[in-house]
Structure 1
């Protein structure tokens, strides 16, 4: 947001408790958790943070169903997943926190990034789209 916030760009944040049960808070506690616990240090997001959703399994939010269907993994490796808290498991499931999706200004899903993707690669793709 600091690099691209003045342009036609925004980040959208979604909390999810399906990854190691690391987000047990209720929605009204999320901003305080970010500010004082994780990452803490007074962090206040400069982007919208939405209510908690499920991104995998029977109760997954339709947005994430659409994103995963539109941007499937090229070479999925199910074995990389940590302890799972959803069912059924599908090959294109989001594997862990901080997986990212880049969407064009007109709402078209453009690219999917796993949690190990260097942020510089994401920044390069954002620059190309903007």
Structure 2
């Protein structure tokens, strides 16, 4: 995400990060330990996230305890895959067709907060830029 923000250094692009531990328990630390985990563990080596990445408390993105934010985002954008159920490391009680299937799903919102597009976990910066450019250039 740092690389993405560098591409938009002079633009009003920000990233809101919501850690989640529902995928193979990959986010086990407490909320106040997340930034240290990024800096020293994964990716580690003193990595410092861009100051336009805003980290929030861990939240559930699927299942009975999913936050209303993710309920809204998922209902606004189609699922990124039809392969739901292939993994066995899910840690929530329901599996629905629009559930998030792994860490690093991304949602692009316009400047008014309307969800515009959803990207899967395997998407990279090159797949996001044309969508971001289109949203930023709309009148």
Question: TM-score surpassing 0.5?
Answer: yes
1:118 Cα offset (Å): 3.7
Structure 1 unmatched runs, 5+: none
Correspondence for 1:90 among 90, 96, 99? 96
**RMSD of aligned residue pairs (Cα, Å):** 1.5
Q: State the partner residue of 1:111.
A: 117
Are 1:82 and 1:96, in contact at CA under 8 Å, matched by a contact in 2? Answer: no
Does the residue aligned with 2:116 lie in a helix, a strand or coil? Answer: strand
TM-score normalized by the length of structure 2: 0.86
User: Does the C-alpha gap of structure 1 residues 80 and 103 become closer, same or farther in structure 2, counting only changes over 3 Å?
Assistant: farther
Aligned residue among 26, 29, 35 for 1:25: 29
Per-residue CA deviations over 1:95-116 (Å, capped at 9, x if unaligned) read 0011111001111100001112
Residue 73 of structure 1, aligned match among 49, 72, 79: 79
CA contact (8 A) 1:56 1:86 kept: yes
CA deviation map 1:26-46 (0-9, x unaligned): 001011000000111211211
Contact 2:80 2:120 in 1 (8 A): no
Shift of 1:77: 2.5
Partner of 1:3: 7
Asked whether the 8 Å contact 2:73–2:115 carries over to 1, the reply is yes
Per-residue deviation, 1:82: 4.1
SS in 1 for 2:15: coil
Helix, strand or coil for the counterpart of 2:108?
strand
Q: Tell me what 2:127 maps to.
A: 121
Structure 1 outlier segments of 4+, above 6 Å: none
